[in-house]
Amino acid sequence: MKLENFPFQIILDWYKINWRHDLPWRHKQEPYQVWISEIFLQQTQVSRVIPYFEKVIDAFPTVHDFAQIDYDTFFPYYEWLWYYSRARNMLGAAKAIVDDHDWIFPNDYNELLSLPGVWPYTSQAILAFWHNQSVLAFDTNIEKIFARYYLGSRFIKLSKEFKNNIQKQFEKTWISWREINAALMDFSSLVDINEKQNINWENYPLHNSQFFKNKWKSESRPEKKSIQINKKDAEIFVCIHKDHKEYYSENPDRFEAFQLWKTWDDHRGFIKAYFKNKFNLSLSVRPPYKKIASNKWNYFFYHAQVQAWEHEFGIFNKKEKLGWEENI
């Protein structure tokens, strides 16, 4: 497959004027800070990550400092950032770097992937930003730029061959891998935004892009049918668990999920506050895994994992939990 040359220089020229100065991990491109930022940014908005990043770096300035702490020490610095398995993986990765890699982040893709919680994109980002290695750190945001440029839509998945061809194109330029990855990230967030109707077409730099040429056509994907329920009119069932191996109930004789009554729209925030205030439990709460709507009752079902606690609940297995669910 032969692709027309992508205008990397246009992206870089835009970046040199418009780069995001407010990102603290850009100021000191050390692998530890790159790693912390990239892990925190997984499925989390930049604006939410910044204060957590600054707090962690201030308290634990090196990977060695970070590797010395346990989960209970780290939890207050991480709480409310969600995805708590991510926090445990970070601690495991830090200990592996200190114990197995002499405090140095590996410069090999597969070695980085072997660290707990390090995904392909995270590995690519560390190689590009710290080691300036020849790799484009493809995540969904960067893929979006190329999918729109060549194919007109961010919803078209790029093949491995397609991405390899783009990388080979870039290898023929004299641009730094570190700079182009940062430039693509900022361009995706500030210019090639997901809300097509809010894009500034008059100043859009990539005039040869299929996306720009077809800007008045709809970029859409099939809508998923979902149950529309007013959260304020719904009952809440909370299944508290530990790694989906143990489930907990106030009833010591049989499993029953915790039932909370109608409340405000923020169910997950309410659940966390309720269990913190009543039982002194710290929970991570996932989005609802099931909804039931009827003429009389509406229900939202949530899984919540224990993060820090002491309890006197009954302990049950997954089969007993599923048995309760079938009888609702």
The DSSP output letter for 176 is -
- Of 4, 30, 38, 310, the active-site residue reads 38
User: CA-CA distance, 229 to 56, in Å (whole number)?
Assistant: 38
Q: Which two tokens stand for residue 26?
A: 């850009």
Question: Element (H or E) spanning 240, and its range?
Answer: strand 235-242
Please name which of 88, 97, 137 lies closest in space to residue 117, comparing C-alpha atoms. Answer: 88
Residue 301's φ and ψ, nearest 5 degrees, are -110, 130
Which residues, other chains included, contact 294 with Cβ-Cβ below 8 Å and sequence gap of 6+? none
Sole residue written with tokens 């302990």: 315
320 alpha carbon, distance to own chain's centre: 32
Which residues, other chains included, contact 300 with Cβ-Cβ below 8 Å and sequence gap of 6+? 229, 231, 234, 235, 236, 237, 267, 288, 290, 291
Quickly list H helices, 191-314.
Answer: 210-213, 267-279
AA letter at 91: L
AA letter at 130: W
Q: Which two tokens stand for residue 171?
A: 């290898």
Q: Is 246 a catalytic residue?
A: no
| Cβ count near 155 (within 10 Å) | 13
Which residues are the active-site residues? 38
